[in-house]
Amino acid sequence: MTVTPDIHAPIEHTKLLIGGEFVDALDGKVFDTINPSTGEVITQVAEGSAADVDRAVAVARDAFENGPWRRMKPNERAAALWRLGDLLLADADEMGRVETLDQGKPFAFAKGGDVPSAAGLFHYMSGFATKLEGATIPISAPGNFHTYTRREALGVVGLIVPWNFPLTISAWKLAPALAAGNTVVLKPAEATPLSALRLGQLALEAGIPPGVFNVVNGYGSTVGQRLAEHPDVDKVSFTGSTATGRRILDSAKGNLKRVTLELGGKSANIIFPDADIEAAIAGSSAGIFFNAGQACAAASRLYVHDDVYDEVIAGMAEKARQIKVGDGFDPTSEIGPVASKEHFDRVSGYLEVGKGEGEVVTGGARLGERGYFIEPTIFAGAAPDARIIKEEIFGPVVVASRFSDTDDVIAQANDTRYGLASGVWTSNVSTAHSVAARIQAGTVWVNSYGVFDPSMPFGGMKESGWGREMGHDVMHDYTDVKTVCVNIDG
């Protein structure tokens, strides 16, 4: 049954979650969270400070050292994480409502996309709790030794997440961190503080002990910074901009905490003349316009072979004009607003830059007077060093360029400091694999774009980051290896 969400129903959780209790900030401060479809205040949320981070970290430390989580049988930890996935699915209507109110994305996507993909993360990662295995090692040193490795949790992990996929990106980090037996303090983005609090409530209901998963909302410059620099936090995992990623590294160096960075991108999407053009047009449009372009892996640079350039650009322009942009709770909306006034201003600035650097094929303006809506936009003909080709816009804006030579398009695709993702459209199997091998990016999609799965490692090369989310590889980022060498000669 389709439930029509009541956008005015109260929001259940707006305080900080520390030690299993929803509590006010120590100094009692609150901030407004805004619905980007209307610009109106949804509710007020407790605004944490450095002192709140300190108490959340102390609680997480105690839960790690003295609580049951790390000592639980692995299958009990797995069962709790699996239950959290189930509870999320059962809560899809309310969790979807909260995410749409706060972030703006269409309710059908929040409920039918973000919630199940977050649940899928908990289901998939729960299995690692019972599979954190070491190795026995036949060493050659003189003597007689039984030598083996143990995979151990790191301790207290700080998670700092952005506002484009607040729930899903939280799950990307939480699920493996918790499966390994760590305890965490999560800082959501100030623009989207709500879904993490609801997730915290569900985690308690799933049997994840109090203090294992704490949530401190607040600003990056206070809460985020304190979490990244905190001497008793063992690791920080961050998703956001490359500039903030550098700041996190500076903050983290005090205690040399482990750092995972999932940063921005300016992903090249290449259409060869032998591609299925209809599929390439549809996939490339979804690749940039999905989530109003607010995706780190968005297909924001489009390279089309001369032979099919006019056909592809005409097709994409038609698709862009047909996309229904509107309020997240209008069931006909295909994309919503961008997530905040601040980000709207940033993307609008790039629209003006783009008009000076290239030709507007379609779009290029704000939509309506209320809320933060931007027309799906295609620019063409910008020079390779134009800002709109070099810089991450993070909005529904793609920049199209022509190519005629494979070596040349690979050089252009790799001519960026980013290396997050890429797309290749071709019917030639040799082109597909050889181009995939030569592109400097953490993920290459062939004849598809934006396919994510909990089993697929995701992360950046170059300045797009350090480490991986998801797949088996992520478990290396949330555990350490201990070598035990036992003299068995008595």
The residues of the shown chain that bind Mg ion, judged by CB under 5 A, are 33-34, 102, 191
Q: Judged by CB, which is closer to Mg ion: 342, or 405?
A: 342
Tell me the angle at which helices 277-289 and 309-322 cross, rounded to the nearest 10 degrees: 50
Which of the residues 296, 375, 463, 469 is marked catalytic?
Answer: 296
Q: Judged by CB, which is closer to ligand NAP: 312, or 374?
A: 374
In angstroms, what is the C-alpha Rg of the chain?
Answer: 23
Q: Judged by CB, which is closer to ligand NAP: 5, or 240?
A: 240
189 binding ligand NAP? (CB under 6 A): yes
Specify whether 262 is catalytic.
Answer: yes
160 binding ligand NAP? (CB under 6 A): yes
C-alpha pair distances (Å), 49 with each of 95, 225, 226, 318: 26, 10, 8, 48
244 binding ligand NAP? (CB under 6 A): yes
**Interaction residues for ligand NAP, span 376-405 (CB under 6 A):** 392, 394
Which of the residues 262, 334, 375, 469 is marked catalytic?
Answer: 262
Q: Which does 162 bind (CB under 5 to 8 A by kind): ligand NAP, Mg ion, none?
A: ligand NAP
239 binding ligand NAP? (CB under 6 A): yes
Q: Which does 102 bind (CB under 5 to 8 A by kind): ligand NAP, Mg ion, none?
A: Mg ion
Among 56, 180, 263, 308, binds ligand NAP (CB under 6 A): 263
Among 125, 179, 296, 304, binds ligand NAP (CB under 6 A): 296
202 binding ligand NAP? (CB under 6 A): no
Q: Judged by CB, which is closer to ligand NAP: 96, or 264?
A: 264
Q: Which does 346 bind (CB under 5 to 8 A by kind): ligand NAP, Mg ion, none?
A: ligand NAP
We find the least distance from the C-beta atom of residue 129 to ligand NAP, in angstroms, to be 27
240 binding ligand NAP? (CB under 6 A): yes
Burial degree of 145 (CB within 10 A; 0-12, 13-18, 19+): middle
- Point out which span in 47-55, 155-163, 423-431, 466-474 binds ligand NAP (CB under 6 A): 155-163
Q: Judged by CB, which is closer to ligand NAP: 247, or 366?
A: 247
170 binding ligand NAP? (CB under 6 A): no
Residue 465 pairs in a beta bridge with 262
Q: Which does 296 bind (CB under 5 to 8 A by kind): Mg ion, ligand NAP, none?
A: ligand NAP
Which amino acid, 83? R
We find the least distance from the C-beta atom of residue 243 to ligand NAP, in angstroms, to be 7
346 binding ligand NAP? (CB under 6 A): yes
Specify whether 296 is catalytic.
Answer: yes
User: What are the φ/ψ torsions at residue 472 (nearest 5 degrees)?
Assistant: -65, -35
Among 100, 164, 416, 479, binds ligand NAP (CB under 6 A): 164
The catalytic residue positions are 262, 296
Interface contacts to ligand NAP, rule CB under 6 A: 160-162, 164, 187, 189-190, 219-221, 224-225, 228, 239-241, 244, 247-248, 262-264, 296, 346, 392, 394
